[in-house]
Amino acid sequence: MTTRSIGSNALALAGSRFISATGAITASVIAARSLGPSGFGSFVAIIALAFVANIVVTFGTDTLVVREVAVDPATEEIGESIGLQLAIALPLILAAAVAVTLRASGALMIAAVGLLPGIWSTTSLAILRGRERMELAAVANIVGAAVAVGGAAIAAANEAEVAGFIATSVCGLTATAIVAVALTRRLVSTSWRPSLSTWTWRRAAPFASMVAATAVASSSGVLALEVFGAEDATGHFGAANRISEGMRLLPAAFFGAAFPAMTRSVHLTETYSRTIVRITVATAILITTVALVAQPMVNTMYGGFDGSVRPLRVLSIGLLPLLFRLKWSFELIAHGDEKAAANASIVAAAVTVVLATTAALVGGPTLVATASVVGIGVHAVVLGLKRRKNAGVAGDSAQQR
């Protein structure tokens, strides 16, 4: 077990994700300015589809690997995780190839190929997190972000279309995978040979349904506007969503760093509780700040995307329920109740998809942003009720003993 503290790990992970988010936002800004609202709408729609596909391929194995490596660094889950992901990714890549032959966008095929480096990136980063070496994960993420931004700049200079910018995103992911695997191999000697096990499928299933449902919910706004909204609406919402995604990575960094230690019940300590209070206050301050500077922020970053200002203000409000959604979800998983977390995610995803689709049909980006925030709130409430129920059951059991 590493001697690094949760604080230093959280700082490394937060810094890593901040730089990654900054890189993703910078690349999206370059793409938006080069492609315009309509082309950028297509870009973010394909990115959203790739995000969902990556979650499907991962099948929740990243969270499983983090937990298992935290308990036993010699776990066999690594090779089995890679084998499971390959078994899912290859049919999806084949389906994308068929779609392209039927005149779908070539950018879709490029995004599909990106699933392959994503497998090794996801697995190696999960190992580093499980070993509580977030500073090494940070190095890999920073390299990937730099490659993605540099690629986007080259694509813009060559007046590339959507496919060119999708390719730069895949290049960034590939760079992250190469660096992460190199660093992980020096830390863990477990075999990386892909293998298949029905046991891994069964164990990963709750994580898979949980993460897939969350991915569908987070992508529903962009996809609903792409299908049912006005042509430019997706671009305006996508710009606001890219900024809010960057902000969401910050609280996620803390819980990502604390999760391995939750297997040792760190979340039951007073220090953890006080930290949650501080993070809540900081989140409230961040929401207020975004509300005040949303207009100049959007103008400076994107230019010509005035329709993104109000959605950004609304989406920033979702940071508060997101904080508690992450808290209660990770705590349930640490207690071995991933099925409860998965069920809550499925309920919230269904609510979010219905709300986002309705909002896209009758309104615009701001209403879709509101639907997204309501969905996050529903998710947090369901998780909180389940966490409270579990705490009550545990208390009753302790009294009986």
Average pLDDT over residues 348-370: 92
Q: How confident is the model at residue 2 (pLDDT cuts 50, 70, 90)?
A: very low
pLDDT at 367 over 90: yes
**What's the CA gap between 283 and 96, in Å, rounded?**
40
User: What is the model's pLDDT at position 28?
Assistant: 82
pLDDT at 92 over 90: no
Is pLDDT at 311 greater than 80 in this prediction? yes
pLDDT tens digit string along 146-199?
998 998 899 888 888 888 888 898 899 899 999 988 888 877 766 667 666 666
Q: What is the pLDDT averaged over residues 347-362?
A: 92
Angle at 111 between CA 153 and CA 78, to 5 degrees: 110
Summarize the confidence of residues 357-369 as an average pLDDT.
Answer: 90
What confidence tier does 394 reach under pLDDT thresholds 50, 70, 90?
very low
Percent of the chain clearing pLDDT 70 (strictly above): 89
Q: Which ranges of 102-230 would DSSP assign to H, the alpha helix?
A: 106-113, 115-130, 134-157, 162-185, 198-228
pLDDT digits (tens, 9 = 90+) for 272-281: 888 889 889 9
Neighbours of 140 (CB within 10 A): 25
> Is the pLDDT confidence value at 263 over 60?
yes
Assess whether pLDDT exceeds 60 at residue 398.
no
